Amino acid sequence: MAKILVTGGCGYIGSHTLVDLIEHGYDVISIDDLSRSSLSALTGVEMITGKKVKNYKVDLKNFDETLAVFQEHPDISGVIHFAAYKAVGESVGNPLLYYENNLLSLISLLKCVKEFGIPHIVFSSSCTVYGNPDHIPVTETTPIQPAASPYGATKQMGEEIVRNLADSSDVKAVLLRYFNPVGAHPSALIGEMPLGKPQNLVPAITQTAAGKLPMMMVYGNDYPTRDGSCIRDYIHVCDIARAHTLALQYLASGKQQTPTEVFNLGTGNGITVLEAIHSFEAVSGVSLNYTIGPRRDCDIVAIYANNEKALQTLGWSIQYDLHAMMRTAWAWECRIQETEKQARNN
């Protein structure tokens, strides 16, 4: 049973990936400093899989603490690196925080990967590396434009750091460029749990529908799109999680042609913000209270994926459509509401 270290394992995509890895026979451990996540995610993972996952509350920027985890587990055969700050708007307001956290933690981790001869790493990247592309859908060879935010810049730099390590060592790497992860595990035992006011669309939708937020804002309806709102490629978090297991299996197969390979993870369908809202309303039966506001800094007009490489090379497939994404996100929000209600009554 191969042992995989998942950084950011208590986070949104990390916890769903732990489930997929366990369900496909992997032994897993997690590093998460819990600064923007909760151990409750691992409780959900255990309820789904029957497996208790050990988490190390370690700041990856601290090399000695990170090293200690590798020393305790010399049999780690692969690393999936999720741990990073990810709020685009926050990165614009506090860029140094993002450069320090996202890059120094990666460098510290990769020092350990190199020192312990870990053969495989999967890096959590993002479609933000494409900037504002000239043409869509984007392929893995679409020219990289200047990043629209410091967050996107850290992903561009992170990819280059991983690529440089792979070129200069025996490490083999896969870079997975996510588009817009949404939804929750169909059990509703794990899902997206934003701290404070949600920065992403779907948690804003579900929290507004649940009454946690009085109203949500749609940022701009004057873009050159079919209804004036931005276009994104929304992809279910379980589909993204599955791709990480497939990426590890691909690395282990020895079929990789180059030290680093890149894969887009999206559905290949561009959905407008207003279309996403209408999908939620259709599956939930809730009429959403939203208003149209001004455009937001660093939002690009439209982006969606060409995902043929992942489909063909990794054997990946899309299991969840937009309605399923919204349905599972709403089930997760309703479970949170019920849990909070029970806590108040007790």
Active site residues: 151
The 10 Å Cβ neighbour count of residue 169 is: 15
Residue written as tokens 């039966």?
285
Q: Which helix (H) or strand (E) holds 172?
A: strand 172-178
Distance of CA 55 to the CA centre of its chain: 19
Residue written as tokens 């276009």?
231
| Alpha carbon distance 265, 316 (integer Å) | 9
Asked whether the bond before 137 is cis by omega within 30 degrees of 0, the reply is yes
Q: Are 197 and 87 in contact (CB under 8 A)?
A: no
Backbone angles phi, psi at 89, to 5 degrees: -60, -40
Torsion of CA 8, 140, 236, 300, to 10 degrees: 90
Q: Are 55 and 42 in contact (CB under 8 A)?
A: yes
The tokens describing 255, both together, are: 């079929």
The tokens describing 26, both together, are: 């992997």
Picking from 32, 122, 107, the residue whose alpha carbon sits closest to that of residue 77 is: 122
